[in-house]
Amino acid sequence: MKSKTQLFLELWQEARTRFSNQLLGLREEDLVKKLPPSANSLGFLIRHIGEVELLFAKNVFGEKEIRVIAKTVISKQDSGEWTDLNELQKYVDQSFHYLKSSIEKQVDLDWETTIETKEFGVKTKAEAFGRVVSHTNHHAGQMAIIIKYGV
């Protein structure tokens, strides 16, 4: 029988493919695409997903040694700087690694403990985990539309 942690990890990894599979066919020129009237580019969304994954590893799952400057979260708007595909790929590979590692360290009882963040208040780790899964998939959907229709 699998542990809660194993099940949550499998759920997250499968759900994240909705994001990661889109990265496989991207070209650097795609990163500036937007879907008007939105101001956020494809590159911005990729960076944002990575930042939020790192923030979850740090603030929800306790990886205090992680240093993240969440530029997209702070600014809430695209500065136009997210145009290096190789750099963005490395960043989200790193965020995947850190979040995966932090999830793997959880024991079954950890999922029922409560945490508090300024972003979403008091939640169990399981509830908070639902936020990172849905956050990535929300933006992955936006990315799919931008890739298809963006200019």
Domain assignment of residue 10, yes or no? no
DSSP assignment of the chain:
---HHHHHHHHHHHHHHHHHHHHTT--GGGGG---TT----HHHHHHHHHHHHHHHHHHTT--TT-----HHHHH-S--S----HHHHHHHHHHHHHHHHHHHHT--GGGGGSEEEETTTEEEEHHHHHHHHHHHHHHHHHHHHHHHHH--
- Span 77-132, pLDDT tens digits: 999 999 999 999 999 999 999 999 999 999 999 999 999 988 889 999 999 999 99
Domain assignment of residue 50, yes or no? yes
Q: Supply the pLDDT for residue 119.
A: 84
- Span 131-151, pLDDT tens digits: 999 999 999 999 999 999 999
pTM of the model: 0.96
CATH number at residue 114: 1.20.120.450
Domain assignment of residue 16, yes or no? no
Domain assignment of residue 37, yes or no? yes
Q: Supply the pLDDT for residue 128.
A: 97
Domain assignment of residue 118, yes or no? yes
Percentage of the chain exceeding pLDDT 70? 100
Note down the domain range covering 54. 29-149
The total of structural domains in the chain comes to 1
- The answer, yes or no, to whether residue 43 has pLDDT greater than 90, is yes
Domain assignment of residue 97, yes or no? yes
